[in-house]
Structure 1
Amino acid sequence: MKLKPEYRLGAVILTTLVMSTASPAAEKDKKEAEESPVKVSIQGAEPSLADNLRAYLPSLRNLKCESPAERIERYIVSAQPKLTKGAEAMGYFAAKFEMNSARQSNCWAFNIVVEPGPTVTVAKSNIRITGEGAKLEDFVQIASNPPYVTDEVLVTQKYEDFKTSLTRAASRLGYFDAEFVEREIQVNIDAGQAVVNLHFETGKRYQFGQVDVEQDVLASKYLKRYLRVEAGKDYDSDELLRQQRLLENSGYYSDVQISSNYQNVENNRVPVEIKTLRNKRYAYTGKLAYASDDGFTIEGGMNARWVNDKGHKLDTALLYTQSGYLKTGFKYIVPLWEPEHEYAGVDVSWIKSKDTIDFEGIPLATYLDQRKLEFNYNRRTESDWQQTAFISFFEEKFRLVIDGESIPDNTQLTLLGVRASKTKATDPLYPERGWRFSGELKGAHKSVLSDDTLMQTRLDAKYLHTFDNQAKVIARGALGATWVEQDSLMPQSLGFTTGGQDSVRGFDSNTLGELDEYGEVTGAKNLIVTSLEYEYPVTEKVSAAVFADAGSAFNDWGDYKLNVGAGVGVRYKSPLGPVRLDLAVPKDDTKDLHFYFSLGPDL
């Protein structure tokens, strides 16, 4: 069957078009063609035009190999105006088409021969925006980027996209009466030129009206701290979105729905309704890890998302290792005036540990009992840096028992300091790229409720990058330094040690540091740690890893030795995050094998 070319009116004709074209992706699901056995070939059109013509064709979904000839003929007739629109959308207003059907391999096939003709270019664009919002930055920015420049091919999608950007901006900013006073494209086919006329009137801007909030967690006085949408403010749908995120991120609510009640607009004010569903009040966390030196490590925690109607929060935590290390405590959080950015906190912690060794045939045991009370102020900057200023009251009781004789060493400090940290990652659980940085500076002076005068700083960083083949490299490092007054002592628990799963693998946990007269590792003044790891995917969920770590804790920057460990590992992508299994040995003793297990995100 054959449809003869349909020739458009000749002569000099000025056609006025009110366009309503859509992008090929929106106009038609490209998968439709794949769902029909009937094939379509297009000849004589450059690739972008051919793709657009194919997108504008009527659906092939209902055409089958056994479809009767009459059905095929009706399809060809219906395709002609669609092809014309598809060509005009690309600037070809004089295109001609010849569409044939034939039987091939026991099925129908269409062949479309295209004579595209010359394209129409834009001779002039008359773009006007008037009304109260005309000088608003959003509309000025849109107007400064018109859809066409002079002599550009008239691809009508650009015209439609420009109109859409205007209507979306008007809707977002509350210009609900905005309208197109004029919208047309005048095309002179014989001259091959077009004139674009577009006049957009913004009308008046609406404001937010009464804000009603349905929630049962916070008292009204404290709820106001979380409300950013207020009656009388200019309407902006982005503000509604920010309001929703603020309430969701508070942790109090599992679902937040915000709607504008357009039906009840009064005096250009749009009422706002906020409906919330309270979250579960308590959340629990847990982590299990294993290292060959410490045995199993168990971490657990409980988070009370709110303690009272003021929105106060409580976090409790417990960490216990099979080797006898216990750390427990809680953090009480008080949201402040801008709770999304700042809060005050009280941290209480207690650490208790015991270690025993045999020193030249003499039994030796160390006992540590540390208590800390900290008051802190925390704020998050617009660039997502978490900043903390704190004052910490620190008491440490250290006791050394040698062959039954006890030697105590008690320390009390009042530390003032600051912390800063930031994590940037493409995904919180399985990031492909990202980094993490944290730093702390703190100090104490004998004149302020302290036994010693000292200052200490520490920096930690981690970087992750994933290559195109999904291989991954992870680099991390740490630096620490302490200044202690000449007649002061370094408190045991403030000193640096390293070695173990999160520092230098191939060594027992915290066994790298300065040694005392009994051969026991004590806290050192300075710290340096580096690590480089490479992961290569074996399957979709399993990767193999190789790594090398180096580090040391020491007192003199001019005299230290880096301890090096290396090993191999396996990574498994579980629903809870990466599961890591590592085997590592120290460089100087490759028979000393250490095993590590952990679960959690890379950053």
Structure 2
Amino acid sequence: MVAAVRGAAACLVMKWSTALAMTRAMTWTTVLVWALLLGSRVATAEPAPQLQLTGLSEARLVTNVGLTVPRINFSCQASTAQLRRYLAAAREAAAEALQAFGHFNATIRPSIETREDCRDPALAIEAGPVTTIESVTIELPETVRQIESVSEFVANQRPSVGDPLDQAAYDALRDGILGRVQKAGYLDARYTRHELIVDPSTQSARIALSLEAGSRYRFGEVTIEQSILEPELARRLTGVPEGAPYTSRDLLAMNQNLTSTAYFESVSVRPILEERENLEVPVEISTYRNPRTSYELSAGYATDVGPRVGAEVTRRYVNKQGHQWSARSELSAIEQRLETSYT
């Protein structure tokens, strides 16, 4: 009987070993087949034309040109005429990409390069001398110069004479000044002059900005969507009175002041700029209230009283006057405490 069992076990082991060996063989065969298929696919993939850029050494110039030139959407069988049309567009785009960093006298030579069974468009580029800033004129009204965010921004971002021209930096300077002036309440501010004049013959550039601020706006009517407090109380909780000078900083303060109370779970403040008139900006505030009542349980241990448990109930708003009530109790073997408050 034992021999029969042992024989059956040996047979089972043999069959299992054979099956395992067959599985391994099939696994390696499958891997080999997939490898051959993938290798065949890679080997038989058709070549594609690539734009060849030579002559540039600065990484930022190479990157900007590469991001600006049009994508290649033709195959290696493209005609010479199609390649030339692409090169004309790529040459123009490359020139604009170089001008963004002050290179207005670049030399760009297009050509068609042949490799194996494909032809590539190519641009040989000499960036040439960089244009430098000859003069910077920024004219701002006195009221605007007194705005701290504006004066600090201009002091930090104003380019110096002799700096290489960077058109992105000029755009950031122009837009940054106007944006900060408008956030300070001068919503109708505009440039009467904003110029970047480049003279390629002398590799020089002149910057001129003149801003007209207009009148400063004030906060107008503030509408708060809520039903748990008296409207005037909710209005006072914003911390910004009607008629105060309009600033984006005070819009944020309104949100933070209301959110920091126990009444509201979330707050959204939106100025209705399209309805501003008489130098006043109406504001709309939407709220989502907190649950009226909260409960809290606690447990702990203290060396003086031993184990203790506690419970607290808070009524966040009792009435429309914003009154709040809470009760807190602590129980231990030697001490019982109950505290209540109404504010």
Aligned partners of 1:99, 1:254: CA distance in 2, in Å? 63
Q: Which residue identity does 1:95 align to in structure 2?
A: A
Q: Which residue of 1 aligns with 2:330?
A: 350
Aligned partners of 2:310, 2:158: CA distance in 1, in Å? 63
Q: Which residue of 2 aligns with 1:63?
A: 73
Conservation of the 8 A alpha-carbon contact between 1:344 and 1:375? no
- Choose from 269, 274, 295 the match for 2:285: 274
Identity %: 23
Q: Which residue identity does 1:48 align to in structure 2?
A: R
Q: Which residue identity does 2:335 align to in structure 1?
A: Q
Q: Indicate yes or no: 2:122 matched with 1:140.
A: no
Structure 1 residues 372 and 39: CA distance shift in structure 2, 3 A: farther
Q: Which has the higher contact order (CA 8 A, sep 6+)?
A: 2
**Going by fraction, where is helix more abundant, 1 or 2?**
2
Conservation of the 8 A alpha-carbon contact between 1:131 and 1:201? no
Q: Which residue of 1 aligns with 2:131?
A: 120
Aligned partners of 1:54, 1:224: CA distance in 2, in Å? 55
- Choose from 133, 144, 168 the match for 1:157: 168
Structure 1 residues 346 and 258: CA distance shift in structure 2, 3 A: closer
Conservation of the 8 A alpha-carbon contact between 1:244 and 1:258? yes
Structure 1 residues 224 and 74: CA distance shift in structure 2, 3 A: same
Structure 1 residues 140 and 372: CA distance shift in structure 2, 3 A: same
Q: Which residue of 2 aligns with 1:20?
A: none
**Going by fraction, where is strand more abundant, 1 or 2?**
1
Structure 1 residues 104 and 236: CA distance shift in structure 2, 3 A: farther
Structure 1 residues 227 and 151: CA distance shift in structure 2, 3 A: same
Conservation of the 8 A alpha-carbon contact between 1:124 and 1:196? yes
Q: What are the residue-to-residue correspondences of 1:503-518 with 2, within 5 Å?
A: none
Structure 1 residues 166 and 317: CA distance shift in structure 2, 3 A: same
Aligned partners of 1:347, 1:105: CA distance in 2, in Å? 86
Q: Indicate yes or no: 2:12 matched with 1:47.
A: no
**CA offsets, 1:379-412, max 9 Å, x none?**
xxxxxxxxxxxxxxxxxxxxxxxxxxxxxxxxxx
| Deviation at residue 209 of structure 1 after TM alignment | 0.8
Q: Which residue identity does 2:209 align to in structure 1?
A: L
| Deviation at residue 334 of structure 1 after TM alignment | 7.0
TM-score (norm 2): 0.71
Structure 1 residues 96 and 156: CA distance shift in structure 2, 3 A: same
Tell me the secondary structure at the aligned position of residue 162 of structure 1: helix
Conservation of the 8 A alpha-carbon contact between 2:223 and 2:285? yes
Q: Which residue of 2 aligns with 1:218?
A: 229
Structure 1 residues 278 and 87: CA distance shift in structure 2, 3 A: same
Q: Which residue of 1 aligns with 2:311?
A: 329
Structure 1 residues 98 and 375: CA distance shift in structure 2, 3 A: farther
Q: Which residue of 1 aligns with 2:8?
A: none
Q: Which residue of 2 aligns with 1:370?
A: 335
Conservation of the 8 A alpha-carbon contact between 1:99 and 1:111? yes
**CA offsets, 1:359-384, max 9 Å, x none?**
xxxxxxxxx232234579xxxxxxxx
Structure 1 residues 351 and 66: CA distance shift in structure 2, 3 A: farther
Q: Which residue identity does 1:68 align to in structure 2?
A: A
Q: Indicate yes or no: 2:244 matched with 1:260.
A: no
Q: Which residue of 1 aligns with 2:3?
A: none
| Deviation at residue 199 of structure 1 after TM alignment | 1.2
Q: Which residue of 1 aligns with 2:182?
A: 171
Tell me the secondary structure at the aligned position of residue 83 of structure 1: helix
Structure 1 residues 104 and 218: CA distance shift in structure 2, 3 A: farther
Structure 1 residues 131 and 201: CA distance shift in structure 2, 3 A: farther
Aligned partners of 1:205, 1:261: CA distance in 2, in Å? 16
Structure 1 residues 39 and 258: CA distance shift in structure 2, 3 A: farther
| Deviation at residue 66 of structure 1 after TM alignment | 5.9
Tell me the secondary structure at the aligned position of residue 145 of structure 1: helix
Between the two proteins, the alignment pairs up a number of residues equal to 284
Structure 1 residues 102 and 144: CA distance shift in structure 2, 3 A: same
Conservation of the 8 A alpha-carbon contact between 2:185 and 2:246? yes
Q: Which residue identity does 1:242 align to in structure 2?
A: A
Q: Which residue of 1 aligns with 2:92?
A: 81
Aligned partners of 2:67, 2:151: CA distance in 1, in Å? 34
Q: Indicate yes or no: 2:93 matched with 1:111.
A: no
RMSD: 3.2
Aligned partners of 1:107, 1:235: CA distance in 2, in Å? 63
Aligned partners of 1:155, 1:205: CA distance in 2, in Å? 32
Aligned partners of 1:135, 1:222: CA distance in 2, in Å? 34
Tell me the secondary structure at the aligned position of residue 212 of structure 1: strand
Conservation of the 8 A alpha-carbon contact between 2:296 and 2:312? yes
| Deviation at residue 241 of structure 1 after TM alignment | 2.1
Conservation of the 8 A alpha-carbon contact between 1:257 and 1:274? yes
Structure 1 residues 224 and 272: CA distance shift in structure 2, 3 A: closer
Q: Which residue of 2 aligns with 1:208?
A: 219
Conservation of the 8 A alpha-carbon contact between 2:263 and 2:316? no
Structure 1 residues 262 and 221: CA distance shift in structure 2, 3 A: closer
Q: Which residue of 1 aligns with 2:6?
A: none
| Deviation at residue 318 of structure 1 after TM alignment | 3.8
| Deviation at residue 347 of structure 1 after TM alignment | 5.9
Structure 1 residues 216 and 84: CA distance shift in structure 2, 3 A: same
**CA offsets, 1:35-85, max 9 Å, x none?**
xx6544422212121112222223x2x625467335544332222222111
Q: Which residue identity does 1:369 align to in structure 2?
A: I
Aligned partners of 1:223, 1:163: CA distance in 2, in Å? 39
TM-score (norm 1): 0.42
| Deviation at residue 150 of structure 1 after TM alignment | 1.6
Aligned partners of 1:67, 1:230: CA distance in 2, in Å? 71
Q: Which runs of 5+ in 2 are unaligned?
A: 1-47, 318-322
Q: Which residue of 1 aligns with 2:19?
A: none
| Deviation at residue 240 of structure 1 after TM alignment | 1.2
Conservation of the 8 A alpha-carbon contact between 1:38 and 1:107? yes
Q: Which residue identity does 1:54 align to in structure 2?
A: G
Aligned partners of 1:220, 1:278: CA distance in 2, in Å? 14
Conservation of the 8 A alpha-carbon contact between 1:317 and 1:330? yes
Q: Which residue of 2 aligns with 1:130?
A: 141
Conservation of the 8 A alpha-carbon contact between 1:210 and 1:230? no
Q: Which runs of 5+ in 1 are unaligned?
A: 1-36, 282-305, 308-313, 336-342, 353-367, 377-603
Structure 1 residues 65 and 108: CA distance shift in structure 2, 3 A: farther
Conservation of the 8 A alpha-carbon contact between 2:49 and 2:76? no
